[in-house]
Structure 1
Amino acid sequence: RYPAINKPAAVLHWINHVQTDAEFIVILDADMIMRGPITPWEYGAKLGHPVSTPYE
């Protein structure tokens, strides 16, 4: 058995404890299949403006 994982809390913990110069941070589920490039700017992602996109 595996314990439940609280992704929002884990992401918040990571943000508060890491130093990075990454322009974008992409959060995917473990069962996601990437079928093409990830282009955050096409969805309006920018500094201080997180976005989410539908599954396609």
Structure 2
Amino acid sequence: MYPAINKPAAVLHWLNHVQTDAEYIVILDADMILRGPITPWEFKAARGRPLSTPYE
């Protein structure tokens, strides 16, 4: 068994302590497999608008 990890708190901490000029920040689970490009504009990603997409 392994301890639970608080991803939302970790992401918030990172966002509050990093300086980046990245246009998009993608947060993935460690067990995800990428089978194609990540295209945020296809899902209408925008500054200050977090979003999620369905698994396909």
TM-score of the aligned structures, taking structure 1 as reference length: 0.94
| Counterpart for residue 7 of structure 1 | 7
Distance of 2:16 and 2:25 partners within structure 1: 14
* Structure 1: segments with no counterpart, 5+ residues: none
Aligned residue in 1 for 2:47: 47
Give 1:15 shift: 0.2
Give the total of aligned pairs.
56
Runs ≥4 residues deviating over 3 A: none
Deviations 1:1-56 (A, max 9, x none): 53210000000000000000000000000000000000001001011111100111
Could you state the TM-score of these two structures normalised by the residue count of structure 2?
0.94
* Segment of structure 1 superposing worse, 21-30 or 42-51: 42-51
> How many percent of aligned residue pairs carry the same amino acid?
82
Trace 1:9-48 onto structure 2 (pairs within 5 A).
Answer: 9-48=9-48
RMSD value over aligned CA atoms? 0.8
State the alpha-carbon separation in 2 of the partners of residues 51 and 41 from structure 1.
Answer: 11
